[in-house]
Structure 1
């Protein structure tokens, strides 16, 4: 339980103070945050809230969305990501999670879009390092390639991350997005110390109409969490295990009850490896 972190988006119906209370009730003192609720509550106020509660902020979501046909739009994305890095540092979080962005409107050039991602990270990585923030490239399931993320596999993420110092750029390993990959074990082993974040969500079928919000509660689907976690921890990863679920049905429920359910299921899901 000491490694469990609750990502705020999992229970976005809770305010930040309510999130602290729900986590405290089940013995959890770590959270992953999203930029929008932090901005709404106030950056400085949010940092003070979690510090005074004795909580650690394990990650901030999200940066990225680097791909665009218009160079001016790409420059705006760089500036927004600089702001995201500053926010991550202000919260005391070690990691900013990056979602690359999909194909630019009207484009079919996947290679070109991925090159834009590399160029953006090359510009941002030194800036992040100066502020004590590590960038974590998150591959998303291939069904999101066109509109959200042109980086779909762990191998693709590593191909990008390995162009930069390991302390500056790593990868985010998310069970929902990667469980299907036939090369997953080799990818996790290759990732090694590049693993900057590890996130849990289950895959359930049939998929809902809105696949973006179709991540399953841990234990409800087909992901082999104990085996997955064992592979990640075998690399030497010592960081938090963050539960990040986008699910319309969970968002309709009492948030504190959802947090309690996650805490109850977590030990069986991760097995003895953690």
Structure 2
């Protein structure tokens, strides 16, 4: 189990590391903005002192703009993100994964060319992949629910993400399986199996889909067990596909953000144990009864 830093959004990096470690959780998914607040080298030192694994760094991407200054700036920013991912993974405990989560980006202003945006996204991966491979970083393409297609992510299904990832070396380009974004897809189990067969699952993220959706649909994610997602079926599929990395809990929810970070982590640990069955895959090395609740 890993706590994605977005779940405790208002905690700064030192606090996030402290509350995750104190709960007995052994891994954390980091975000670039809190890392930037302290600086990359200081962040790496804090991670090393924490003893935690780094399951991923969020996020890069947003490169669907047409060729020009905006696109060049985005590509350069993703190069910096690759460097940050490698640095933070190296600072983490043994087993840290150098995984950079990528969100494709939406349609450029005034555009309706969804196919062209996806092609430009693919071209950006082609430009960045050699640098990622040289740095030991996996670019993890995250498909987002179709309601975000216009403004955030023109990749909407796991199949679309795999169609792009399969064009590149497996060690440098993979996909994110995020329950919130893919639970609705009639082909999701087949596509998870496909991702496993090709070794493309770079990250597995969990949270629930709660209704009614809030006005800001970015904040529609809920704690596992509070919504409609069948975690047993999806987690079984991911396990059967051979994934043995950390399972990140990533929740965007205002009420959860407003709560005390330590209490959020404690609640998350219990919800994970209750609703994300890992079968024979161990939940870290700490017996659940020893986790601080």
TM > 0.5: yes
Tell me, in whole angstroms, the C-alpha distance in 2 between the residues paired with 1:161 and 1:87.
Answer: 22
Q: Does 1:215 align with 2:221?
A: yes
Compute the displacement of 1:50 (Å). Answer: 1.1
State whether structure 2 residue 145 is matched by structure 1 residue 141. yes
- Partner deviation per Cα, 1:153-188 (whole Å, 9 max, x = no partner): 000000000000111100000000000000001100
The counterpart of 1:7, out of the listed 4, 7, 22, is: 4
Indicate conservation of the 8 Å contact 2:21/2:50, yes or no.
no
Residue 191 of structure 1 corresponds to which residue in structure 2? 195
Deviates more, 1:88-97 or 1:136-145: 88-97
1:55 pairs with 2:52 = yes
| In structure 2, C-alpha distance between the alignment counterparts of 1:25 and 1:78, rounded to whole Å | 37
Offset at residue 141 of structure 1 (A): 0.2
Name 1:80's counterpart in structure 2. 77
Structure 1 residue 25, shift from structure 2 partner: 2.5
3-state secondary structure, aligned to 2:54: strand
Structure 1: which 5+ residue stretches go unaligned? Answer: none
The range that moved more, 151-160 or 9-18, is 9-18
Q: Deviations over 1:119-145 (max 9, x none)?
A: 000010110010110000000000000
8 A Cα contact 1:69 1:105, kept in partner? no
TM-score normalised over the length of structure 1: 0.97
Question: What residue is the counterpart of 1:236 in the other structure?
Answer: 242
Instruction: Please identify runs of 4+ aligned residues in structure 1 that moved more than 4 A.
Output: none
Aligned residues of 1:219 and 1:265 also touching (Cα < 8 A): yes
Deviation by residue 1:76-95 (Cα, 9 ceiling, x = unmatched): 11100000000101101510
Q: Secondary structure at the match of 1:199?
A: strand
Q: 1:122 aligns with which of 123, 126, 134?
A: 126
Structure-2 separation of matches of 1:22 and 1:80: 30
* Pick aligned residue for 1:227 from 222, 233, 246: 233
Unaligned stretches of 5+ in structure 2? Answer: 90-96, 282-293
Question: Residues of 1 paired with 2:50 and 2:278: CA distance?
Answer: 29
SS at match of 1:60: strand
Report the RMSD for the aligned CA atoms in angstroms: 1.0
User: Could you report, residue by residue, the CA deviation over 1:57-110 in whole angstroms, capped at 9, with x for unpaired residues?
Assistant: 110010000011352211111100000000101101510000000001101101
Establish whether residue 253 from structure 1 lines up as the match of residue 250 from structure 2: no
